[in-house]
Amino acid sequence: MKDFKKILSYFLGVLFFFVIIAARPKKHEPILLSRYAEEQASLDEHEESNAEEEFVPGDFILDHIGDAYEWHILTYKDFHLTIPLPVIIISQTKGLNVFLFNKFHHGHEVYKGFKYATSGENEGKIVEIMDDGRTARPLLDLSFTKNCLAILVSIILMLWVFISVARTYLERTRKAPRGLQNFVEPIIIFIRDEVAIPSIGKEKYEKFLPFLLTIFFFIWINNMMGLIPIFPGGANVTGNITVTMLLALFTFAMTTINGSENYWQHIFNPPGVPWWLKFPVPLVPIIEIVGMFTKPFVLMIRLFANIAAGHIITLGFFSLIFIFGEMKMMMGYVVSPLTIAFTVFMTFLELLVALIQAYVFTLLSSLYFGMATEEHH
């Protein structure tokens, strides 16, 4: 436990140092670019100047719920406090390239033949400038993004919580729980007794319980951290469809690997179904196979849609202040109290949704495991 605390303190120290050196005022210095890059820079500056003239709610919302190559913490006048994250790119012509995102200076500079696109079809992505002046996505972009850092923070938090609780259990055998034990133990018992055992059965639930607990706490913690507006919160991890897709694939893989003979028989040769629905056209088996893939698809879409929609609605209410303020300053002041009240209400509603969505994902996963491991009666 002491070694883990040392590692955690070192990580936090490095992260703090990273924040300090990354904090710098935004400077617009003359830069030497290629002819293409100069044209692109002037075009971007023109678009940015036009964008400053009016507030665009869609861009404001998408900017806050989307992923990024840096973590913006605060802005004060010309001072921007951000954490530039590592850019890792593999190019067919330039090979492996590793550097920090601040080398692009918010898309105003070209670095090593790469540029951060601020407009066009690759907006928000890193593109490679080819010899003929065209831009294209590199062969492989393995960059460490804002959501990756948020996931790393949540994993460290989970490790700290559960290693601390496990250590306390070992030191206080057969004693009343205290501290974090009082918080974690009822949740673990609830997932075991109300989710895993009823869905999977007493004989086989222990095999899947670690996964169910991990997926529940991972989703819940990231949902809650997404509602915190200050670092290290604010990242839209579970509102990113790539993350929810990976979580759903874990459930799909465990369901498929642990499927019993009875499970596969019900898919390819379901008993009790008339033969003419299975031959010559295997209608029912096709429906069952499609159902295998729609289950993880539903898991993916449900979590993504509910979390992303909550953030979008909250930011939409908040945007009304600026929309009415552009019409007339006084209207912005008048609508502010109502907008803030709706925003606070939606935030409290999201607190409930954060827990419900973690529970629903865990419950459905356990039901799929139960269906896959059920034996013939």
End-to-end CA distance of the chain, in Å?
47
Confidence at residue 243, expressed as pLDDT on a 0 to 100 scale: 93
CA angle 212, 216, 218 (to 5 degrees): 115
Handedness of CA 205, 206, 207, 210 (dihedral sign): positive
DSSP state, residue 143: -
Domain boundaries, the chain: 2-144, 147-373
Q: What percent of the chain has pLDDT over 70?
A: 85
Q: Which residues pair with 111 in a beta bridge?
A: 114
Dihedral class, residue 272 (left if φ above 0, else alpha if ψ from -120 to 50, else beta): left
Question: CA-to-CA distance for 75 and 190, rounded, in angstroms?
Answer: 43
What angle do the packed helices 205-225 and 180-190 form, to 10 degrees? 120
Model confidence band, residue 194 (pLDDT cutoffs 50, 70, 90): very high
Write out pLDDT tens, residues 289-318: 888 899 999 999 999 999 998 888 888 888
Angle between helix axes 283-327 and 241-257 (nearest 10 degrees) is 160
Alpha-carbon distance 187 to 363, whole Å? 13
3-class DSSP state for residue 24?
A: strand
Residues 6+ apart with CB under 8 A from 369: 199, 200, 208, 254, 255, 258
Q: Are 357 and 306 in contact (CB under 8 A)?
A: yes
* Six token digits for residue 365: 């996963």
Most confident of 21-30, 242-251, 260-269, 308-317: 242-251
pLDDT tier at 40 (50, 70, 90 boundaries)? low
Q: Is the pTM of this model over 0.85?
A: no
* pLDDT for the residue numbered 44: 52
Token output for 201: 């059965």
pLDDT at position 16 over 60: no
- Mean pLDDT of all residues in the chain? 81
For residue range 87-112, list pLDDT tens digits in order.
Answer: 899 988 888 988 888 888 877 788 88
pLDDT band at residue 3 under the 50/70/90 scheme: low
Mean pLDDT along residues 320-347? 85
